[in-house]
Chains A and B, each alone.
Chain A
Amino acid sequence: KAGVTQTPRYLIKTRGQQVTLSCSPISGHRSVSWYQQTPGQGLQFLFEYFSETQRNKGNFPGRFSGRQFSNSRSEMNVSTLELGDSALYLCASSLGGRRKETQYFGPGTRLLVL
């Protein structure tokens, strides 16, 4: 079974631009969560989508948004990029979106904002 895939793997943008990252969960998984990893803050939860609905949101500004499609694929969008948005963005999928289910992570998208 294919794992979680994320595209693109690397991205360079400039301040003020916007970016869209994509995540394809494991086949059959309905929940997709997004995390941001930075050296200073570690891994931080952004939001979770289940059945095309945002179910949970972390403490990030409104510039960070996402959506989920009917096939469970998810996209994350960051508008008006800031230098501090440079990070590794990870998505994770789980089968039924239950709290104690294992979340399987993708390899991440490394975003560099110049």
Chain B
Amino acid sequence: DQQVKQNSPSLSVQEGRISILNCDYTNSMFDYFLWYKKYPAEGPTFLISISSIKDKNEDGRFTVFLNKSAKHLSLHIVPSQPGDSAVYFCAASATQAGTALIFGKGTTLSVSS
């Protein structure tokens, strides 16, 4: 049973526009969420995180929003750039799981120029 779901396998966006990647979770014990980006032949690279005590966190072009009541988070990339084309993974963490991250299956973002 998947605890972290990324229901859109792919997303295509034009350069300069906003990219919105979505993630849903089922485990109410998750209290820390992360987004990773992965290029082919490389390991995932940390992008941004958010604790459950917040509903928004920004870092440059990247903003993560958390809606705890809906068990939903989203990653906004503004403006999108061709170099953002990659697979994006949502991950979650809970105290009882220690440092283990529970990942979604990823969304492939394609940004066209």
Chain A residues engaging chain B, CB cutoff 8 angstroms: 4, 31, 33, 35, 42-45, 48, 55-56, 58, 90, 92, 94, 97-108
Contact = CB atoms under 8 A, between A and B. Distances in A.
B43 A42 contact: no
Top 10 nearest A-B pairs (CB, nearest first) are A105-B43, A43-B103, A42-B105, A45-B100, A56-B98, A105-B44, A102-B46, A107-B43, A106-B43, A48-B99
How many chain B residues sit at the interface, stated as a range, is 20 to 34
Contact of A100 (B49, B100, B103): B49
Contacts of B43: 4, 90, 92, 105-108
B45 interface: yes
Interface of B: 32, 36, 41-46, 49, 51, 89, 91, 93, 95, 97-106
A45 B93 CA distance: 11
Given A42-B105, A42-B106, A43-B89, A103 B45 contact: no
A45 B105 contact: no
Nearest to B45: A105
Contacts of A106: 43
A56 B44 contact: no
Contacts of A92: 43
B53 to A, nearest CB: 12
A33 B103 contact: no
Contacts of A105: 36, 43-45
A57 to B, nearest CB: 9
